[in-house]
Amino acid sequence: MEKEESKQIIVDREVPCTVRDGVKLYANIYRPNDAGAYPVLLCRLPYNKNLSDFSHRYIDPIRTAINGFVVIIQDVRGRFASEGEFEPFVQESTDGYDTVEWAADLPYSNGKVGMFGLSYYGFTQLYASLEKPPSLKAIFPAMTGSIYSEAFNKGGVFQFAAAETWILDSIAPDYLKRKQDTSTYAESMKEIISDLDQIEEWHDYKPINQWPPVMKHPELRELFTKHITKEHITETLSKEKLTSANLTIPAFHLAGWYDNFLGSTIMNYEDMKKTDDNQKMIIGPWAHGMFHSEIGERSFGVNSSGSSIDGEDDLTSLHIKWFDYWLKHDHTSLSNNDDPVQIFVMGINQWRSEKEWPLNRAIMTPFYFHSDGHANTNLESGTLTTVPPAEKQTDQFIHDPENPVPTNGGGVLFYNGRNAGPRDQSEIETRNDVVVYTSQPMDTPLEVTGWIKVVLWAATDAPDTDFTAKLVDVDVLPDGTAYNLTEGIVRASFANKENEQENLKDKVVKYEIDLWATSNVFLPGHKIRIEIASSNYPWYDVNPNTGKTTLDTTVMVKATQTILHDSEHPSHVVLPVIPGE
């Protein structure tokens, strides 16, 4: 464990930082109680620095300060104590630069600054890094998005339940408090609380851009329509800056197999490693901001939790070690014998260090879809093998947007962490609009670690539609429990926008569905399963099959979906299989 350097700390509250346009941003500062100069660890968040659930979250600032750091936790512009107008994401670039340099000049700072934080306060690190403040030496972005991808969009599909939850739960209370008089705000908060209590029912409201919990508050309308339903991060920052080539800084990336930002966190690691080799990454069996050993309906063992990582570290000690290296010593590169990647392998429930990601030894193995044409009604009629299909085979199902496939687990971002993680898919797999392809039981353990992709040849009788894919681990004994590992979705029009196919009706199209990544050992007796459907609701905006979206329409029609798998259309999943020892 880390070595304690100071036994007492001072806490300075509501310390102002004046940025270039005169706006004051306020922070709480935790620092050693002596006359020394220490490196600074900065966290910038929009969720209230005075609430321990957010300001402390998963890192203990007191323990960190005891170990020889000045810890600064700041409300970003326009949030809580800080002045100015809140504009999600885009404001964090120059404000981040100014705050870093202010922190470096504090009398108890040694001039070296690191940044840390999860989710939105991972974004604040990346955007500050784009500006290249000279005092910023290292960062620790956890479970965060990419600088050039939208926070609530995957495969061209709007992740509306997460967006609605975020604005109503995390943003609206303080945002309205700053804009309304006392009596109006009191009434608004009653409505906000009532709507949060009913948010699962509110997710069903269409059209989304007229969502009543937001639209009843005029102050929220522009924020919702401009920044949420029509995200414009990449439109408001210069393309010259929005490139990973500008992120040349040591970074420790923290991800979770069931986090809604899993893919972007891993891509941040991969992209930044191209321009700065001083990158590390850890991926645990965690959901967004949830680091327990039990996630969803599975337990991964005591040493899977963020408080006992392989029995050696916890999340705070990981941060202390990382910033000890970069901010207290004159290191310029990581040690050659320090493995940069640490992953938790599910199934066998073990941590493992790796020298690269993706793993060079992974064998990208296609598992092909086969069936007798009735895979949608019989779990065993759709099979998954490494043998390519020969004869012409098709499966059909009806996508009814009025009765979408319900979300059941995964990397969701729902209110209070509901529905996250691995959950039994058995009931969903009996639906007539979910097609399943299942392997034979494993004779020996089969490890799959890396990026997962489904290549799907499909047709629809609608002008536009969606296709989803899910990778599942089926435990045959005792009861066939089927736990989801990872999933993906693609909107047909989004996938084909470069081909300028506005109407996809009756066209056979090759889709590549990005399932992001996982690490799992399919144990003897377990089966590999792929689910194909056209909805995953309310995680994703359901496609009305009309060529429009439920952002601005309530008209929905059924669509007949056809999956092809033959020699010319060999639909399959590509699994990164790790050879046995």
Catalytic residue positions? 119, 259, 288
DSSP three-state, residue 406? strand
| Cα radius of gyration (the chain) | 24
Largest Cα–Cα separation, the chain: 79
Query: Which structure tokens are listed for 498?
Result: 């470069």
Note if the bond before 61 is cis, omega within 30 degrees: no
CB 43 within 8 A of CB 72: yes
Here the contacts of 545-549 (C-beta below 8 Å, separation 24 or greater) are 545/399, 545/401, 545/460, 545/462, 545/463, 545/464, 545/465, 546/462, 546/463, 546/464, 547/462, 547/463, 547/464, 547/493, 547/502, 547/503, 549/158
Q: Comparing C-alpha atoms, which of 139, 70, 71, 140 is closest to residue 110?
A: 70
Give, for 100, the enclosing helix (H) or strand (E): helix 92-104
CB 190 within 8 A of CB 184: no
CA angle 532, 536, 540 (to 5 degrees): 130
DSSP three-state, residue 170? helix
CB 342 within 8 A of CB 357: no
Q: Comparing C-alpha atoms, which of 521, 296, 561, 287 is closest to residue 425?
A: 296
Query: Which structure tokens are listed for 154?
Result: 């995957």
Q: Comparing C-alpha atoms, which of 132, 52, 127 is closest to residue 91?
A: 127
Give, for 97, the enclosing helix (H) or strand (E): helix 92-104
